[in-house]
Amino acid sequence: MKPLVQVQGLRVVARNDDGVEFPIVKGVDFAINQGEVLALIGESGSGKTTIALSLMGYARQGCRIAGGSVRVGELQVLELNQDGLSSLRGRTVAYIAQSASSAFNPSKTLMDQVVESAAIHHTMPRAQAEAKAVELFRALALPDPERLGSRYPHQVSGGQLQRVMAAMAFITDPALVILDEPTTALDVTTQIEVLRAFKDVVRQLGTTAVYVSHDLAVVAQMADRIVVLRDGEIREDGATTQVLEAPAHDYTRSLLAAAEPVVRDIGIEIPELTRSAPPLLDIRGLTAGYGPVGRDGLPSKRILTDINLTIARGATVGVIGESGSGKTTLARVVAGMVPIARGQVLLDGAALPSCDQGRTREMHQRVQFVFQNADTSLNPAHTIGAILARPLAFYHGLKGEARRKRVLALLDLVRLPAAIANRLPGELSGGQKQRINLARALAAEPDLILCDEITSALDTVVAAAILDLMAELRRELKVSYMFISHDISTVRAICDEIVVLYAGSKVEARPREALGEAPFHPYSHLLISSVPKLEQGWLDGVCARGATRLPALGSAPGADADAGPLCTFLSRCSLRVDGLCTHKAPPRQRLANGGEILCHHTPAVLVQMQSPLHRFEEEVA
């Protein structure tokens, strides 16, 4: 049977500032059969997205398709003129981007944007397109499908918007759909919802698709075949089962190894630190939020409620939870960006002022923030040397040669060459930018660094390198971290203690070595169960080791945030006891492993209920 898509000898070149062209895709060949899902995987810069975009006859600014052929059905894509390409895009080949939030027009309703492609290509009347959109909303498990289209992009969650973008792609019944890292920035439970919806629709429609990702566990659930890329060349091309279970290339084996979480040896004995000194950071009864403050002194939009947390000097505490759980707000309160409504934040036993205006330069110097998006947190007009020089001058008064030498020392500290100092942020890779973010925080010589989802948008190899660097800096400099993430595997790899937030409440805390041990809070159980496993069939709840089926995901975090003293997880909890959980606030119970849990169920009961997951976690470990 003739393949639906045939790529032969594809070459793409890029142009540097001097106008000199260099290859970034080097003679790639592959084919995709009708109804097949092909995954393109590899590190950042491997050419995944460049190749996927070439299937639409498109090359990004500064790049050019220099040779080869791309056939989709009977169309020779690279031979089409501009009118032909316009007819191809959105009709024959559709594209689902990584960031749905930046792909939608905020001034138009969702329905107007979903049916736009059908109107442009004249595939059906407006009324028929709207009816089909509603059916797609229903197939993609979107809430209230009949009325969803009347909403605007800001009125739905990120995971819902990602699925609306899929409806936009499927509305014209394209021959080929490109999914470009569509779940990378989503938290684990939202990712599972989106993956389930995508897989169901692909199955129902018999869609031919290209799935671009660096996450092998996700690819294992979606793809029939995998093409492994590095430096613009194919290193391996095979069935998903073969690539995952018997990889033929050393690079594929390295990607598989990087996909497994590695617990870093920190080399610091935290108990010794806690006995000899008070905690570096001590958060007591913290309540905070946004909006006008009422007579009770509380903000109109409460995000955090009664949070207690400590970080020892030299320790790393991970804070996990879904989007909307309050993780970033917690870090912003510590940094002074969000005021304290109630409670205290103490640094070395001294209370920090509620917000930024009351804090001294020394307080700011001791607590530094590394933001999630390296692209937006580095000034694109300044060189790396100038970016690193600024905190050296501000906090330490360094000038001239002394400042230049310290800039070079910081680059060496984060394992980057000295030549980087003369470059602009736009000339660096994502991993390099995140290292510069770390170096800028280290320039202040802080005691505590607040890391907000700093590896969430990085591929597994680059993320692993960043985690190794953080562990090394911690050993060398005795710096402490608050490490915020929605990825429980990443937190397990680097943190001494893990704190779980849900809808602004601290529902669980436990030491890292006890992370895989029941009992779990029901919400922690959901998070752990939602981390994709590197095995085919896992998404369907059929694991080779007999793992439990995934729990129902239910509503979004924060749905019960206004539940008063009751459990904030009440409406999503599969273990709730009506008459108890619905009438009384849960107690905070100490666990034998040194952790704590906010739940009515006793630890013994939770162990019994969660034992299948416990056995599975032991087998995986």
3-state secondary structure 475-515: HHHCCEEEEEECCHHHHHHHCCEEEEEECCEEEEEEEHHHC
Helix (H) or strand (E) holding 240: helix 240-245
Confidence (pLDDT) at 499: 96
Residue 196 and residue 425: Cα distance in Å, rounded? 37
Mean predicted confidence (pLDDT) in 499-509:
95
Cβ–Cβ under 8 Å, residues 261 and 490: yes
Q: In whole angstroms, how far apart are CA 219 and each of 41, 255, 445, 528?
A: 8, 12, 41, 19
Confidence (pLDDT) at 264: 63
Mean predicted confidence (pLDDT) in 353-369:
91
Centroid of chain to Cα 209: 22
179-235: pLDDT as tens digits: 998 887 778 888 888 888 899 899 889 999 999 998 898 999 999 999 999 999 999
Cβ–Cβ under 8 Å, residues 179 and 97: no
Mean pLDDT over all residues of the chain? 88
Burial code (b: 16+ CB inside 10 Å, e: under 16) for 426-439 equals eebebbbbbbbbbb
Using DSSP's 3-state secondary structure scheme, residue 243 falls into: helix
Confidence (pLDDT) at 350: 94
pLDDT above 70: residue 551: no
pLDDT above 70: residue 503: yes
Residue 379, both tokens = 């000034």
Closest CA to 140 of 199, 220, 208: 199
Cβ–Cβ under 8 Å, residues 193 and 201: no
Confidence (pLDDT) at 262: 67
Confidence (pLDDT) at 612: 55
Closest CA to 489 of 250, 326, 313, 259: 259
Confidence of residue 493 (pLDDT cuts 50, 70, 90): confident
Residue 220 and residue 166: Cα distance in Å, rounded? 20
CATH code: domain 5-259 is: 3.40.50.300
Q: In whole angstroms, how far apart are CA 536 and each of 245, 255, 545?
A: 10, 17, 12
Q: Domain residues of the chain, as ranges?
A: 5-259, 270-502, 522-620
Task: Find which of 86-90, 254-258, 590-594, 610-614 is predicted with most confidence, using mean pLDDT.
Answer: 86-90
Helix (H) or strand (E) holding 9: strand 5-15
235-281: pLDDT as tens digits: 999 999 999 999 999 999 999 887 776 666 655 555 444 445 689 99
Centroid of chain to Cα 238: 27
Confidence (pLDDT) at 230: 95
Instruction: Please state the CATH superfamily assignment of the domain spanning residues 270-502 in this structure.
Output: P-loop containing nucleotide triphosphate hydrolases (3.40.50.300)
Mean predicted confidence (pLDDT) in 371-392:
91
122-181: pLDDT as tens digits: 999 999 999 999 999 999 989 899 999 999 998 887 788 989 999 999 999 999 999 998
Judged by phi (left if over 0) then psi (alpha if -120 to 50, else beta), residue 349 lies in: left
pLDDT above 50: residue 552: no
Confidence (pLDDT) at 465: 84
Confidence (pLDDT) at 582: 92
